[in-house]
Amino acid sequence: MRLVLLGPPGAGKGTQAAILSEKLGVPHISTGDLFRANIGEGTPLGVEAKSYIDAGKLVPTDVTARMVESRLQEEDAKDGFLLDGFPRTVEQAEILTELLTKAGQKLDGVLNFVVDEDVVVERMLARGRADDNEETIRTRLGVYRDETAPLIDHYGEEIISIDAVGDVDEINARAMDKLNALK
Ligand code: ADP
């Protein structure tokens, strides 16, 4: 299955993606994780991405798209993937469609994790990642509203909404039910 995961920062996409990846047998490809791995290793890509991430801004699309393209070409992503954190803008969605079309592929669906802003702020503050301070969180929520939320309209009928309030297993069961109904 080829799926995109959407939702505001702190919606729990990463947690759900890890479980879904195991159940569906496809890799979890998280742009945030890829950036953080590059930052940890001190690669040129990591050095470039770090200033944007620390400020809560989007890393430039050309850099991000190149990283995603090369990850999608790896062997384990041939038959499916869960893309988490990409696309984050309509421009990135168009790039993804182009990449998939070139490879003769298409998405099976777009899972949208639905959760209120006050819940995500609480979750992010509790998580305490380097970019989870109050100011950065506010910036990221603004970026989400302005740049990422329009993807819900962009994907239209491909959107599969999941209520992302509740415990991890419950949310996962909701997602699996909807995915099973797709087949
Ligand atoms: P969250 O889901 O909490 O927003 P992520 O780990 O997905 O966290 O992303 C962390 C940061 O990585 C973002 O705030 C942004 O700076 C950068 N990033 C991740 N994905 C993208 C993308 N598709 N385009 C541009 N920047 C991105």
Assess whether the C-beta atom of 31 lies below 6 angstroms from ligand 1.
Answer: yes
Place domain 2-181 in its CATH homologous superfamily: P-loop containing nucleotide triphosphate hydrolases (3.40.50.300)
pTM of this structure: 0.94
The structural domains of the chain, with segments of one domain joined by +, span 2-181
Pairwise CA distance, residues 54 & 137, whole Å: 10
Assess whether the C-beta atom of 10 lies below 6 angstroms from ligand 1.
Answer: yes
Distance 45 CA to ligand 1 centre (A): 14
Give the model's confidence band at 182: pLDDT under 50 very low, under 70 low, under 90 confident, else very high: confident
pLDDT tens digits along 31-49:
999 999 999 999 999 999 9
Pairwise CA distance, residues 73 & 71, whole Å: 5
For the record, the structure tokens of 171 come out as 């949310």
pLDDT tens digits along 154-179:
999 999 999 999 999 999 999 999 99
Mutate to test the pocket of ligand 1, among 59, 72, 92 (most ligand atoms within 8 A of CB): 59
Pairwise CA distance, residues 179 & 177, whole Å: 5
For the record, the structure tokens of 119 come out as 């819940």
Backbone angles phi, psi at 43, to 5 degrees: -70, 160
